[in-house]
Amino acid sequence: MSRFCVAGSLNIDLVTRTKRFPKQGETVQGESFSTFTGGKGANQAVALSKLGAETVMTGKLGNDIYAAQYMEYFRKLGISTEGITREETSTGIAVITVDENGENSIIIIPGANGRVDAAYIKEKKELIAKADFLLLQLEIPMEAVLEAARTAKAAGTEIIFDPAPAGNVPSELLKLVDIITPNETEAEALTGIRPDDEAGFAAAGKALTSKGVRTAVMKAGSRGAYIYEKGRLAHVAGFKVNTVDTTAAGDTFNAGLAYALGEGMELAGAVRFANAAAAISTTKHGAQDGMPSIDEVQNLLGF
């Protein structure tokens, strides 16, 4: 059985649902308010664990009530917390608005996530070295992401990197990454090319691989995903479901991709598995509540 390590953020998501997003300067009345566990790193760890994967997470929580709840929740899910430390600050917070189409906008307050540095990753390096796959995102400081990637490379651990939220990424990191999984916005931030159609995905994939990434798996929402590898583009179709909240669909995709590769699936099959997992995750509210079990994914895949 493959082992997975996630190095990244743990957030508490404060979620408002509203018919539509307010325009700048406008006040609208919302429909509901809820608090969920979230954070791109923790979401990927939870999605892996719900699929049945052996998962360890490294990151930081604050000194508030949320941190204790998060630790307890991880233990219940069977996610190893040996890589998680609490800091004298607040747990990371994400203020999220979800509209009636399930689309979201997010403001992040890093809190303890901002204290994950290279030295901390060095302390936890065994967790990365022992894993078969390392999953990375961009909600902890870049020095920590880079150190984690260097550690994984040295240990022969496969790196799946979700360049989210969109931003600048140093060229050293791209050279270390095995599989990068941007959505359209993130691909544009990294390459300057907006992939709106097949030609755009091919150009963005070519640009990403020319920066040193081995494989680009570009997420395209309900259209599925595009793979660019060895100079060739392939499309893997998405699944039609009743979407109510797209929050963490991308995180579930990454976890599904890693899980399926860890089970020995070839890349296109693993991307199809990831598309199915991500689609199911959008059918419930909250980042983690809709994340599927292996049976749910296999059911959608028709196994």
Question: In this chain, which of 5, 7, 8, 11 binds ligand RIB, going by CB under 6 A?
Answer: 11
Question: In this chain, which of 287, 291, 292, 296 binds ligand RIB, going by CB under 6 A?
Answer: 287
The answer to whether 184 and 191 have CB atoms below 8 angstroms apart is no
**Residue 78: Cβ within 10 Å count:** 12
Q: Tell me the C-alpha to C-alpha distance, in Å, between residue 227 and each of 140, 192, 254, 283.
A: 26, 18, 13, 25
- 39 touches ligand RIB (CB under 6 A): yes
CA distance 60 to 222: 33
Q: Which stretch binds ligand RIB (CB under 6 A): 25-33, 38-46, 128-136, 209-217?
A: 38-46
Q: Which is nearer to ligand RIB, 15 or 260 (CB)?
A: 15
Exposure b/e, 115-149, CB count within 10 A at least 16 = b: bbebebbeebbebbeebbbbbbbbbbbeebbbbbb
Q: Which is nearer to ligand RIB, 87 or 139 (CB)?
A: 139
- 186 touches ligand RIB (CB under 6 A): no
CA distance 263 to 189: 32
Q: Which is nearer to ligand RIB, 40 or 124 (CB)?
A: 40
Question: In this chain, which of 174, 179, 202, 248 binds ligand RIB, going by CB under 6 A?
Answer: 248
Q: Which stretch binds ligand RIB (CB under 6 A): 21-29, 39-47, 62-70, 197-205?
A: 39-47
Q: Which is nearer to ligand RIB, 204 or 249 (CB)?
A: 249
Q: Count interface residues toward ligand RIB (CB under 6 A).
A: 16
- 158 touches ligand RIB (CB under 6 A): no
Q: Tell me the C-alpha to C-alpha distance, in Å, between residue 155 and each of 62, 82, 117, 133, 172.
A: 30, 19, 20, 11, 17
CA distance 179 to 158: 8
**Active-site residue, selected from the candidate residues 64, 99, 251, 295:** 251
Could you tell me which of 140, 3, 2 has the C-alpha nearest to residue 58?
A: 140
Q: Which is nearer to ligand RIB, 51 or 248 (CB)?
A: 248
Contact pattern from residue 78 through residue 107 relative to ligand RIB, giving x for each residue in contact according to CB under 6 A and a dash for the rest: ----------------x-----------x-
13 is catalytic: no
Q: Cα-flanking dihedrals φ and ψ of residue 28, to 5°?
A: -125, 155
- Which residues are marked as active site? 251
Provide the binding-site residues for ligand RIB, judged by CB under 6 A.
Answer: 9, 11, 13, 38-40, 43, 94, 106, 108, 139, 247-248, 250-251, 287
